[in-house]
Amino acid sequence: MDTTTLICHLSVFAIAALANSIMCGQRMVLAARLLASVFGAAVLVAAPAPAVAQIDSLPTLRVRAPATLAAAATRLELTPTAPLGTAMTLAGLREPGLPIDVILSPEDSDLARGTAPWISGFANAAQSRVVLFPARVGAFPAQSIETLLQHEVAHILFARAAGGHPVPRWFNEGLALAAERPIGLSDPPRLAWTLVRHGKLSLFALERLFGDGRAANQRAYAVAGALVQDLLRIHGDDSAARVLALIGEGRAFEDAFSAATGEPLAAAVDRFWSRQHLWRRWVPFLTGPAFLWSAITLLALFAIAAHRRRRAAQRRAWDAEEEAEIARVATARLLESDPDASGSSYDVH
């Protein structure tokens, strides 16, 4: 059984158990735990990061920050640089090159005010500099300052591997996502929602999405990450390094991709979209956290309504029993005072 089928079965089991617990009047805790177990299963279903090849040294990072961001700077300085080996492997570099300056910028700085609010960091390869905005970390794709650092440093390494020649944004960002972490929980539901709502995207449209605002930017990252992950899966983890090396020799990206992989870029993109069948669109969406917690909320509301109906029915039953008891007592007292009032005696005519 593959992982997608497993998640489907777990989802059906969890939601069925949740409905059963509601119908039986049990507490919602058990159902929430079952759905949380599906949530956890989705977390575990992630494409592995590329294996780190033999490299001679890792990048040297020089963190700089104002006093207000000293805690974040210390956190980054204590962060192991070993994960950067994945980016080195994807770039095909054995030596990282010059040290990279990491600048932490507060929100009241001119640099932050001049940068779109949905951008949490950027890299300037020509200056070997990375700029991070710690206050903006937390939203997809920058889910932690450590992964944001890995992401931006990866851009520097890819630019060095390409000899400073331009690399398409979608390919660059997709590679950086692969370098910082496996495609995990947040991406499949976001990709599924993009496919359901917007359908297939051309590479030109995908490039434009990166600059069209926060929501569009997040959709672009989701699609680019999935597309590049698919290319790495088909052509191998070293395919990116081959492409970047050819770009470094002066070849255009499309030519470099075809020469490095033996497949035209258009064919590779068409294959990716052809794999996004209906079940591939809906299964990640239905097993994502947004849907699962929406299901919990809706079923919780149903349980509350059902509980209120049961309580109302119980109160009506109690009222009926009380009225019957009052009538019985009144009848008994009437019989004690007037035996003939029972209506049990009658005359024969």
Chain position carrying tokens 């605002």: 213
pLDDT for res 274: 85
CA angle 23, 26, 32 (to 5 degrees): 100
pTM confidence score? 0.66
- Lowest-pLDDT range of 104-113, 199-208, 278-287: 278-287
pLDDT band at 67 (very low <50, low <70, confident <90, very high): very high
pLDDT for res 284: 57
Predicted confidence (pLDDT) at residue 196 exceeds the cutoff of 80: no
Mean pLDDT computed over every residue of the chain: 80
Identify the DSSP state of 129. Answer: E
Predicted confidence (pLDDT) at residue 346 exceeds the cutoff of 50: no
The C-alpha atoms of residue 274 and residue 258 are separated, in whole angstroms, by 19
Q: Which tokens hold the place of 203?
A: 């590479």
Phi, psi at residue 243, to the nearest 5°? -65, -50
> Which has more confidence, 240 or 326?
240
pLDDT band at 150 (very low <50, low <70, confident <90, very high): very high
pLDDT for res 188: 60
51: exposed, middle or buried (C-beta count within 10 Å: 0-12, 13-18, 19+)? Answer: exposed
**What does the domain layout of the chain look like in residue ranges?**
61-263
Q: Is CATH 3.30.70 the right assignment for the domain spanning 61-263?
A: no
Predicted confidence (pLDDT) at residue 220 exceeds the cutoff of 50: yes
Predicted confidence (pLDDT) at residue 255 exceeds the cutoff of 80: yes
Q: 85-143: per-residue pLDDT in tens?
A: 999 999 999 999 999 999 999 999 999 999 999 999 999 999 999 999 999 998 778 78
Task: Name the range with the highest mean pLDDT among 245-249, 279-283, 294-298.
Answer: 245-249
> Which has more confidence, 53 or 106?
106
Report yes or no: 293 and 38 within 8 Å, Cβ to Cβ: no
The C-alpha atoms of residue 298 and residue 176 are separated, in whole angstroms, by 37
Q: In what order do the strands lie in the sheet with 121-124?
A: 61-64, 100-104, 129-132, 121-124
> Which has more confidence, 87 or 284?
87
Q: Nearest CA to 292 among 163, 135, 194, 185?
A: 185
